[in-house]
Amino acid sequence: MTSSVSLQTRLVRGTLISSMVAGLIAFVLLIAITVIHTMDIQDQIMDEVSDLLLTSDAHIPSATDLNELTEEFDLQYSLDWKDKTLTYSDHHDDIAHTQHLEKGYGYFFHQGELWRSYEAEKNKSELKVMVIQPIKARFSEVFQSILWYAAGLIFLWLLQWGLLKWTVRRQLAPLHHLSHLIGEKTVDNLQPIPNEDLIFTELQPVISSLNQLLVRLERALSAEQRFTADASHELRSPLSAIQMRLELIKRKFADIDSLNADIDNIQIDVKRSTQILENLLLLARLDPSKANELPKKSIEMLDLISEVKTNLMPFAIQKNIVITSLYSQQNGVVNANQELIYSCIRNILENAIRYTPDHGQVFIHLLNQDAQLIVKIEDTGTGVEPEILPQLGQRFFRVLGTKQKGTGLGLSISQKILELHYGQLIFDQSKYGGLCVEIRLPVDQSVSD
């Protein structure tokens, strides 16, 4: 999966890299122009020194100005007449006489160092002047200038980076504003996003498409709410009718105690079914981001598990399955919706009984660990392959080859119930050979141990 990249970072980086490349090209060109210009000026100085020597009186010692000039630019010279040296610079090393110099400008190496030379003659007088200069003397100041140029360029890059970051952040403010508007959308707020404040024309098609999507989503939610209301009415009516008929039967046969006891149990089941229906309808309408709107109260988990176990015991007895309870000494209390948590535990325990072969075993563990209450249900069934585990909890998913009836919604509903309680549903292979399902819920901290 490709990691996301900040648009702001990419824009700043791309612009800065382009600027740095342009700056480096300009810097190289500046160095080249500076070198050419320096060489030209220094050659002119060498020519000027040779003109002064050729036009001056050979019997007059070198003038102070000439010595200052040669010392400033590290020049060495000698003036010869008929193979005799008439005058030379104060720091003359007689290097030129050991080299075969060409007339005019040239280069030569001496002791691993590159030198610049200039030789000129005066017509008819047989006067010859030689001027030499080490190349490094020409560029000592150039190197300092280059360092200053580089420091200035780095400073400009840093300044540009700060300005770019500030400018790009301001330019991308409409995108951040759009992100904020989209983040505010909930089930209760699907109004179109206003685009008057968005100054970028490139964003207009995005906003238009997003608003169309919001309209379609609002219509779909409205249809779902109508269906939920209709389903609620259609399912609630038969349960109410059953409850009324049970009341009539109970009054009619009030003198039969054994029948009244059975009717009471049926009424309890009908009442619980009605309450579960109400909670499932609430579950369908409830936004997971508003889990705090779910009605909750403190529940003693041990009592709830015992109630689920009692209600499912006839199913277990029918298959000769033994349900073993392994509770910790420290029982936990959770802040939850009792009917929904009951449905969650019942779904998982009923699945464990259904998928366990006859004469098998189901184990229920209750642990209080790390501020979490853990209900672990394991069985001695055939188990589930590791690659199937991540698919458990998906809607309508059922393991093939089990020959068991079901809708494939039980685990999905249980998972959503736990999400609304900030809990977790974890699937793993059991040490007993079957499936291990863990229900993790945060312990109610308001209740003291």
| Residue predicted with more confidence, 268 or 431 | 431
User: Residue 253 pLDDT more than 90?
Assistant: no
pLDDT in the model for residue 3 = 64
Q: What is the pLDDT of residues 254-275, one digit of tens each?
A: 777 777 777 887 877 787 677 6
For residue range 211-230, what is the model confidence (pLDDT) as tens digits?
888 888 888 877 777 777 67
Give long-range contacts, CB 8 A cutoff, 24+ apart: 263-271.
267/243, 270/239, 270/242, 270/243, 270/246, 271/243
Query: At a CB cut-off of 8 Å and minimum separation 6, what does 81 contact?
Result: 58, 125, 126, 127, 128
Task: Dump pLDDT digits (tens) for 170-215.
Answer: 877 777 777 787 777 776 677 877 766 666 777 778 788 888 888 8
Mean pLDDT (the chain, rounded) = 79
What is the rounded average pLDDT of the residues 404-419? 71
**Diameter over CA atoms, the chain:** 157
Band (362; pLDDT cuts 50, 70, 90): very high
In this prediction, residue 60 has a pLDDT band, given cuts at 50, 70 and 90, of very low
d(CA 135, CA 120): 20
Q: 335 with 301: CB under 8 angstroms?
A: no
**88 C-beta neighbours (distance < 10 Å), count:** 19
For each of the domains in the chain, give its residue range(s) and CATH number, in order of start. Answer: 7-163 (3.30.450.20), 203-285 (1.10.287.130), 292-442 (3.30.565.10)
The residues facing 108 across adjacent strands are: 115
The predicted-structure confidence for 285-319, as pLDDT tens digits, reads as follows 655 666 677 788 899 988 899 999 998 898 899 99
pLDDT of residue 364: 93
Q: Which residue has the higher pLDDT, 84 or 28?
A: 28
pLDDT score at 198: 60
- 443: enclosing H helix or E strand: none
What is residue 330's predicted lDDT score, i.e. its pLDDT?
Answer: 61
Tens-place pLDDT, residues 310-358: 988 988 999 999 999 888 756 688 989 888 899 889 988 988 898 888 9
pLDDT tens for each residue of 8-42 = 788 888 888 888 898 889 888 988 888 888 889 88
pLDDT at 58 over 50: no
What residues does 442 pair with on adjacent strands?
A: 372
Question: In whole angstroms, what is the distance from residue 78 CA to residue 90 CA?
Answer: 10
**DSSP-assigned letter for residue 433:** S
Cα 135 to chain centroid distance, Å, stands at 55
What pLDDT, on a 0 to 100 scale, did the predictor assign at position 322?
92
Low-confidence winner among 43-57, 92-106, 153-167, 333-347 (lowest mean pLDDT) = 92-106
pLDDT computed for residue 59 by the predictor = 45
Instruction: Summarize pLDDT for 392-411 with one digit per residue, the tens.
Output: 766 555 554 455 554 456 77
pLDDT of 290 reads: 63
Helices 338-354, 257-285: axis angle to 10 degrees equals: 110
Residue pLDDT, tens place only, 102-137: 678 888 888 888 888 888 887 766 788 888 888 888
**182 token code pair:** 């989209």
| pLDDT at residue 437 greater than cutoff 50 | yes
